[in-house]
Amino acid sequence: MQKDLVSIQEVTVEDLRRIFEIATKMKSERPSYPLKHLQGKSIGLIFSKSSTRTRVSFEVGIRELGGASIFLDQADLQLGRGETIADTAQVLSRYLHAVIIRTHEHAELVEFAKFSTIPVINALTNMFHPCQILTDLFTMNEYSEKLEGVKMAYLGDCANNTSNSLILAAKLSGFDLVLSSPEEYAPSKAMMDYSGPGNGSVAWEPDPFKAVKGADYIYTDVWVSMGYEKETAKRKKALMPYQVSREIVESAKSNVKIMHCLPAKRGEEISDEVIDGHSSIVFDQAENRLHVQKAILALLLDENCP
């Protein structure tokens, strides 16, 4: 893998194969004692947004790999008082072995990675959420035993970190993606025009019922991502027709699986009966964050990783 995981654009087909292989092993052999991949290493987590899954799965994963994690709220650092990203990155590179960052502007993460000499992992920016989507690929591969030719319909805000990363992931791994939203929340041209190494097709379809036809997976995410709370009323009104409801699920394949990165706003982007129903695999997705992120950490930080 490259030094940093900033977005799925840096992930190669071979990286993905290795992540799947190591995560499968880590999942089946989850030890009661720490592994040695991160022995003697300290990993910083700098978060300026809330998190349940990402923070806890990374901290537990680091411990299970034999390393130590240091959680840093951005506001507690001198960054919050105006120290530059460049200076912070250079200083932390002298203490830590990697940094995991959750922030607002993607450009801040890119800047940090530019000045840091240690790996930087994107734990979510407004633009991308690669750890989530690599996990989703792993989860789909567990269920379908392949990604090429598998169809996913994504309903809701098609211009957020999750949908942007799914577009890159389809173009990397070869699954077919149809995104469905009103025009205002359609994917950006830059995302649609991106060309990756895989053969996955990416299309936008404003009619959610057409979008889910023949889908093996239906994926949704909150309509109001962190940082966009001022737009709540407007977004709820525009996106209500894109709720993953029983009617939507019944319009897809009979064995369709329902995905959500969580946290969910039940009754908004997804109904209770769908998220709690037999087709839902949302908690498998959440669990797999741990196994996949352990694989990513081992690949980035253990030069002897088999």
Q: Minimum distance from CB of 270 to ligand NVA (Å)?
A: 13
Q: How many CB atoms lie within 10 A of CB 45?
A: 22
Place of tokens 């799965």: 57
Interface with ligand CP by CB under 6 A: which residues? Answer: 51-54, 124, 132, 261-263
| Of positions 139, 161, 220, 293, contacts ligand NVA by CB under 6 A | 161
Contact 208, 239 (CB under 8 A): no
CA distances from 201 to 124, 166, 198 (A): 24, 11, 9
Catalytic residue among 136, 216, 221, 302: 221
> Is 71 or 115 the residue whose CB approaches ligand CP more closely?
71
> Is 45 or 96 the residue whose CB approaches ligand CP more closely?
45
Q: Known catalytic residue: 285?
A: no
> Using the rule CB under 6 A, is 164 a contact of ligand NVA?
no
Catalytic residue among 18, 97, 106, 132: 132
From ligand CP, ligand NVA, none, interface partner of 43 (C-beta below 5 to 8 A by class): none
- DSSP codes, 41-72: -EEEEEESS--SHHHHHHHHHHHHTT-EEEEE
Task: Extract the tokens encoding 26.
Answer: 């880590």
Q: How many CB atoms lie within 10 A of CB 117?
A: 10
Q: Known catalytic residue: 131?
A: no
Identity of the amino acid at 103: T
> Is 100 or 204 the residue whose CB approaches ligand CP more closely?
100
Active site residues: 102, 129, 132, 221, 261, 289
Q: Which residues bind ligand NVA (CB under 6 A)?
A: 124, 160-162, 221-222, 225-226, 261
